[in-house]
Amino acid sequence: MIDCCDGVLMHTAGLDREGVFSTRVVRDATLWNIGILGEAANNVPQAVREAHPEILWRNIIDARNRIIHGYGDIDEDVAWDIISRDIPDLVPLLRALLEEAEGEDRANAT
C-alpha cells in the first residue's frame, strides 16, 4: 500500500490538477496506483482494519471500486482530492502500521 501511495506521489509530483488529468500516462499511472491501493486495502485482514480505524479502509476500497468499475467515468474532483489530500495523509498512517507490525514480528521472534 505504501508503494502505491509512493507511486501516486511520484507520478504527480510538481503537477497541479490539470497537469495530472491532461497527460494520459500520468492520469493512467496515478489511477492504476489508486486502484491497486484499494485492492490491497481490501485484502488487509478485518481484525487489522478494526484495530486501525484511523485509516479510512472503506473509502480506500470504494475509490478502487469506482475506478475499476466506473468504466472511465472518473470524477476528477474526487480523484484530485484523493491525490492531493488523502494520499499524503495516508502515508504516515501506513508507515506507523508497518512499524507496529514489524515490532510485533520482532517481539514474536524472541
Q: Catalytic residues, which ones? A: 64, 69
Rounded CA-CA distance 2/73 in Å is 26
Helix (H, G, I), strand (E, B) or coil at 100: helix
Provide the sign of the torsion angle of the four alpha carbons 25, 56, 2, 46, taken in this order: negative
Rounded CA-CA distance 81/97 in Å is 23
Rounded CA-CA distance 16/18 in Å is 6
